[in-house]
Amino acid sequence: MADRKDLVDQSEHILESDFTIGWLLNSLRENDKIFQKEFGQHTVKNINFHNISEGKGLSSEIIQCTISFTDSNESYSTILKIPTTKAIEAAKETMKKKGIDTKPDDKVVKGRLNMVIQIHNTECEFFQNLGPILDIPLPKIHKSIKWIMGAQKGIIHMEDLSNRSKTTSIFTKYSLAQIKNMMKYMVKWHKNAFIHRDAWQGKYTTGQNTFINMVRAFDPMIDGLFATHPDKMGSFISKKKYNVY
C-alpha cells in the first residue's frame, strides 16, 4: 500500500485515464525492484505526467511519470502504456476531411474498440509469455492488466528506457554498426522463437487479422509516410491483399 505520508492526492486520475496516482505508487512499491531499493522509503512530493507518444501511437498513449521526493534531490521516471482509440478517431477525422467515407456506425465503432483491446491484450501476453524466451532487449514489465470489456480497463506499467533508447521513424538513417546490432538481435529473436515453437505455434491467432481489417485507416497517412513516391507506394500499402500477403 502507498505510504500515507506522500504529499500527492492518490485518488487523482492520471491524465483522464481510469488509473490513479495511488495505483501507480502501489505498483512501483510492489513490483519495481529498483524503485523499492532506491526510493521505497522516500516520501513522494510530486508526480509530473507527460504524454510522450505525441499522437504517434496507433492504439495507445505512452505516459512518462516523473516522481520527485521531499527528502531527495533525485527523481525517478517510469512508464504507463494505456490503450486508447484517440489516434484512430483522429485518423477518422482526417479521412472525413478528405472526403473519405468513414462509415461511423455502431458496428464500425465497436470494431475499432475491439481492435484496440485485442492489440493491448496480445501485447500483455507477449511480455508475459514470449518476452522471457526471446532473450532480446525489452523493457521490464512491472505490471500488466488486460482490457476486459465492461469489467476492467487495460494498462501496462513498464521500465522507462528513454534515457538509453529512443523510437525512430521508418526514414531514420542508421550506421553500419547500428544495422549489424539490430540484425544480431533479430537473428537471436528468430532463433529462440524457432527453438521454443511450442510456446507460440497455434496460439495467439485471434488478432492476426487486426491490421488487415484496418488498412483503410492508412489512407490519410500515405502522403506523409511515403513523401517521395506516394503514388507508387500508396497504390498497394492500403490494399487488403497486400497486407494478407
Beta bridge partners of 46: 68
**Per-residue confidence band for 26, with pLDDT thresholds at 50, 70 and 90:** very high
Report phi then psi at 171, rounded to 5.
-100, 0
Average pLDDT over residues 103-110: 65
Q: What mean pLDDT is reported for the chain?
A: 85
Provide the strand spans (E) within 30-154. 44-51, 60-69, 72-83, 141-145
Instruction: Give CA–CA dist 88/223, Å, rounded.
Output: 17
Average pLDDT over residues 123-152: 94
Quick: pLDDT tens for 139-180: 999 999 999 998 999 999 999 998 888 777 767 889 999 999
The confidence score (pLDDT) of residue 115 equals 84
The confidence score (pLDDT) of residue 112 equals 77
The confidence score (pLDDT) of residue 177 equals 96
Quick: pLDDT tens for 30-57: 999 999 999 999 999 999 999 998 766 6
Judged by phi (left if over 0) then psi (alpha if -120 to 50, else beta), residue 56 lies in alpha
Average pLDDT over residues 127-142: 94
Q: What pTM was estimated for this model as a whole?
A: 0.80
Contact 31, 143 (CB under 8 A): yes
Q: Which amino acid is at 42?
A: H
In the numeric block, the cell 482490457 is attached to 147
Q: Which amino acid is at 135?
A: D
Using alpha carbons only, give the angle 157, 196, 210 rounded to the nearest 5 degrees: 55
Percent of the chain with pLDDT over 90: 56
**Per-residue confidence band for 238, with pLDDT thresholds at 50, 70 and 90:** low
Contact 83, 113 (CB under 8 A): no
Contact 122, 204 (CB under 8 A): yes
Sorted by sequence, the CB contacts under 8 Å of residue 7 that are 6+ apart come out as 43, 44, 45, 46, 70
Report phi then psi at 216, rounded to 5.
-65, -25
Sorted by sequence, the CB contacts under 8 Å of residue 151 that are 6+ apart come out as none
Quick: pLDDT tens for 198-223: 999 988 887 777 666 666 656 665 55
The strand pair at 60-69 and 44-51 is best described as antiparallel
The confidence score (pLDDT) of residue 44 equals 97
**Per-residue confidence band for 62, with pLDDT thresholds at 50, 70 and 90:** very high
Provide the strand spans (E) within 52-86. 60-69, 72-83
Q: How far is CA 122 from the centre of its chain?
A: 11
The cell numbers describing 170, all together, are 521508418
The confidence score (pLDDT) of residue 3 equals 45
Residue 140 half-sphere exposure toward CB, CA atoms < 13 A: 10
Instruction: Give CA–CA dist 74/139, Å, rounded.
Output: 22
Instruction: Give CA–CA dist 35/18, Å, rounded.
Output: 23
Looking at the predicted structure, is the pLDDT value of residue 58 above 80?
no
Q: Who wins on pLDDT, 106 or 79?
A: 79
